[in-house]
Chains A and B, each alone.
Chain A
Amino acid sequence: MLLDVDNIFMNFGGIAALKGISFSVPEGQVVSVIGPNGAGKTTLFNIVTGFQKPTAGQVRFAGSVVTGLLPHRIAKHGLIRTFQKTEVFPALTVMECVRIGLLNNFQPSLFSVLTGKAEVAAFVKNSVLEVADILEMVGLHSKSEYLAQELSYGEQRLLEIAVGLAARPRLLLLDEPSSGLNAEESSRFSTLVRRLQKQKITIVLVEHNMNVVMGVSDQIVVVHHGEKIAEGTPEAVSQNRDVIKAYLGREWVTDAVG
């Protein structure tokens, strides 16, 4: 297993946001975490990527325990996430934004920068090509000189994924990546996920858009009130009684199951 989430508890003051969640993500698969609003999905992501410390439980990535590490340390393991509320570097150009993601692979010391070590120059030189490749892949190559804040909302979401890709993820956690995307952008996103899958990038997806979830997932984990209530293939999960009950009244479930 690439990622093991082991019995995670999270309390905010009196509120128990996560009550003993466990699941595993095999290498190369797309696993979706779904659940109603407030189920605890984002909290789970924050814990896995080190932005919050769990009250109890453990996260293991590729065999090593990463619980309690700072986010940038966890990122170095190849565990990269995007945010539910779109995050970019607003005043930087698209190209500069993506370039920052590359720092996950190489960070020169102050000494080697000041002495002009060849490896630094080589990294800077290669970064141009690498950024161009990534922008090509997400479809933002024509916008590389735009400021991030000038992009449309959908483009900013893609840019955030591009920044994550530059960090060369082994596992990419995407928090509602297609929310707010129009139909065209959302299908472009699905294609992107499949391409990433081909490149052996493991993906954990939090998503409300069931068309996307059912279309790309190998496994689905259903979270409700901080607990895992079901887990399995898209077909199995969509017929699970507890899942249907948890989502009762939400049309898209019947649509998707339909």
Chain B
Amino acid sequence: MAFSRNLDPRTGLFLRWPVLAAVLVALPFIGLTGYELHLLIVSAIFVILSSSLSLIMGYGGLLSLAHAAFFGIGAYTSALLFMNFKFSMWVGLPAAGIVSAIAAICVGSLFLKVRGHRFVITSLAFVEIMRLIAVNAVDLTRGQMGLPGIAAPVITIPGVGTIDFASKTAFYFLAVGGAAICVWTVARIVHSPIGWGLLALRENENLGESVGVSAFRHAMIAFVVGAFFAGIAGSLYAHYTGFVSPDLFFFSYTVTMLVMVVIGGKATILGPIVGAIAFTFLPEYLRVVAQYRLVLVGVVLLATVLAFPNGIVELWSRWLRPAFLRLRSRDHAA
């Protein structure tokens, strides 16, 4: 299919899979510091979050502030399975995705009947309720103290040996693998007839309904698939950091994801990836302006919404790329 070669026809950015895969595999072995590897792992987890959120808000046009809720639900699912039943991540990871997806089906069957501000506010209230549950259900979650000591998994392959994912290099492959599956799934959906239906939902729900596109069905697919991957990201996070707490439900997590999606480019495949990597790495390298960081993020977010509703990826496709092509053709002419 077309999208296996060309990730994103709108941005005109070609990503050749073999090249990309080779780069991703080589990265941990080019002498990065442990800290840089750590940032790559965090980026990969955020790529999962932002890509799945972009499916909901970029393609489906539903501004969900509840994405952090499914992230948190996934993280707690994994953590609780580990703490109480000693289930490793191999059980916890799929369980986290499934529990988040089931939660999304329950919540979505109520919430996805309303739109606009009503949906935004409902989703915000939901994440707050989840946070309060995490804080107050002390018997289960230990409240503010959180759940520590969630170990990374170990795998023994006969003939090869034992891989301990407590090592950053090993976990890197796990996280990047998760991100790749998520991006692949999202790309697959948005370039399929389901994706056309999502665009109909975003652009003009009534017109879509009038030609047989169920707004509710498509909203639900995006919401549940998005929640599934948010749950997966939560599980990866829990087993990577070894600790979960009610802070995962903080509005600031939601804002971080939103910023990555919006500034990267809402309805693109590449945008949220670029956004997630940029907003994981930049803050670390902008230490000089550390205290102005969030102010800057706010300014950029505001400016993006007002001036570049389609994010920085569009900056590339609309201006930089044409300029680049013009330059190149001039070179050829000369």
Contact = CB atoms under 8 A, between A and B. Distances in A.
Contacts of A153: none
Contacts, number: 106
B197 A104 contact: no
Interface in A82-101: 82-83, 87-92, 96, 99-101
A123 B194 CA distance: 12
A107 B196 CA distance: 10
A104 B212 contact: yes
Interface stretch (A114-122, A202-210, A223-231): A114-122
Contacts of A80: 210-211
A100 B208 contact: yes
Contacts of A88: 204, 207
Contacts of B188: 113-114, 116
Interface in B154-210: 185, 188-189, 192-194, 196-197, 199-200, 203-204, 206-210
B232 interface: no
A72 B194 contact: no
A87 B209 contact: no
A247 interface: no
A92 B202 CA distance: 10
Contacts of B200: 89, 100, 103
Given A72-B209, A83-B207, A89-B204, A106 B193 contact: yes
B213 interface: yes
B197 A100 contact: yes
A239 B192 CA distance: 54
B225 interface: yes
B204 A90 contact: yes
B131 to A, nearest CB: 30
A76 B192 contact: no
Nearest to B185: A114
A177 to B, nearest CB: 14
A157 interface: no
Interface in A101-142: 101-108, 110, 113-114, 116, 120-121, 123-124
Contacts of B30: none
B196 A96 contact: yes
B1 interface: yes
Given A87-B204, A90-B203, A124-B193, A103 B210 contact: no
B181 to A, nearest CB: 11
B232 to A, nearest CB: 15
10 contacts: A71-B206, A71-B210, A75-B211, A83-B210, A87-B206, A87-B210, A90-B203, A107-B212, A113-B188, A116-B188
